[in-house]
Amino acid sequence: MPGSPDVLPLRVVAVTYSPGEALEGFVTSLAEATTRPVDVVLADNGSTDGVPEQVTARHPQVRLLRTGGNVGYGAAVNAGLAGAPGRYALVANPDVRFEPGAVDELLAVAARWPRAATVGPAIRTPEGELYPSARDLPRLSTGAGHALLGWAWPGNPWTARYRREREAPRERTAGWLSGSCFLVDLEAFSAVGGFDPGYFMYFEDVDLAERLGRAGYLHVYAPTAVVVHEGGHATRREPHRMQRVHHTSALRYLSGQYPGRRHVPLRTALRAGLGARMLVSHVSGRVAAGARFQRRAEGVGRAGRGVRA
């Protein structure tokens, strides 16, 4: 039926910042990822490589939205989702490639979980590792153990509890899903005000997930849908700046969990600890890289359909 939600174009938002040749693969892989028409919005934060303009010119379903500068990831996504039609939209990094049927599978999983605000796929690295994209919300104990020990002892119990890598991939709820690729319920997203633009990059997905969870929504991991994510473009371009941003965002999020005057000593300790780790990461690539991934991307995709839990 014309105008019904199932035939409306699916809004797909990618934040671009000189994305390079990966953007063409992102757009072309969408053609086999869904049978629905798509409306791809490139929320551009000031690219200088000319690629977003070139891709927009080649693909009629793609349009360029200039955000006015490097406003950060969350703010750009908010702008890209403004006015999106229908119930769902897809948010993904421009260096993601979708495996065939991946987006339709995310939509099918969302239909089984009516309280899901976000649904995220299995994320495979080009090397065939499974990125731990469906994690528990970070708490003080797990966060401290993960930050202090993950780089040297990736299998430590705090990192394992936080990233849940010891579990076989299966359809399940999670504390938060990686913002590098997820399907989002637009009504839920709007209800909590979208991404907090105060996060320039990193932890904006954690913060969004926590606010959605407090509002009664769920986050569902769907390993029957698979994407390949190269990752690390911004980090490779400006490694020290991105390390600083990562630690600053972590401090902002964790400090927000402990408000008020009685938690001033704890917030001070967090600032000192994260500041020290940031300084160490500037001189040690191993610390900066964090904990290595612990699983291969096996048992994901439709052939490895998991059990709902």
pLDDT, one tens digit per residue, over 214-230 is 999 999 999 999 999 98
Domain layout of the chain by residue ranges? 10-137+175-233, 238-285
Phi, psi of 8 (to 5 degrees): -70, 145
Residue whose pair of structure tokens reads 């939509």 in the numeric block: 107
Residue 305 has pLDDT above 90, yes or no: no
Structure-token pair, residue 41: 């919005």
10-137+175-233 under CATH 3.90.550.10, yes or no? yes
Separation of alpha carbons 91 and 7, rounded Å: 19
pLDDT, one tens digit per residue, over 33-75 is 999 999 999 999 999 999 999 999 999 999 999 999 999 999 9
Tell me 129's DSSP state: B
